[in-house]
Structure 1
Amino acid sequence: MQVVIFTLSNEQFAVETARVQGINDMMEITKVPNAPSYIKGLINLRGNVISLLDINLILNLQKIDTTQNNIIILHMEEELVGIVVDKVDEVLEIDEDIIERVEDEQMELYVKGVINFKDRIVTLIDIDKLLAN
């Protein structure tokens, strides 16, 4: 399994590359009046208008004053959706055997498990479940 590892509020998360359409640097965001707070706005990517989500709010992470430098474009069902992250760290091939299940019922709704590397722990997000909620 291949994953994209990214940083949000000093924590590392991962999504499967099968869902990732592309990774872009931050670009101009058009605000949407009266949109829910987790919608940062819209971006125009090569003629495609894409909704941009603030994944910090969806994951209930405390916002740390860091610059959000990257946008991960995800292919969700019939449309493309962007999530804003502090930075994309790396793309890795991992063995599915190293993914540990999560016992927290609240987190089980959107977390596939945790990847326990020797020097760090990365939370593997089930992006379909997360964005469906």
Structure 2
Amino acid sequence: GDNKWTMTIMARNADTGNLKWGYQKTPHDEWDYAGVNVMMLSDQKIDGKDLKLVSHPDRNGIIYTLNRVNGDLVRADFLDDTVNVWTHVDMKTGIPVRNPEYGTRMDHKGKDICPSAMGYHDLAHDSYDPERGLF
């Protein structure tokens, strides 16, 4: 199954501690990417709307940008064009679509998988420049 709540960005109500929303980045994480990287907060205008965002460059090779108020996926981009374990992120479901050529299964020996089990992006910190609108 998806191993719900693993590899998940969660938001809690600061007053009650109750869960506001959760977004699972890698359902059934076969590679142990862990997803413990930095969460960058920003306020940006997207499609003419002012949004409060959280962006997360993940070890699975994808940078996720979510609406931090409601958890909706705003963008999901590969960190680099060498990422091949996914074909794309389905923006309706928010789930990365596995590339069968690079999947983990008993009858297959995948080579040149990117990102590897070490992950694409590790614990180095990132930043956002609001004046330039760049990470």
Band of TM-score, shorter chain: under 0.3
> More relative contact order in 1 or in 2 (CA 8 Å, sep 6+)?
1
User: Which is helix-richer, 1 or 2?
Assistant: 1
User: Which is strand-richer, 1 or 2?
Assistant: 1
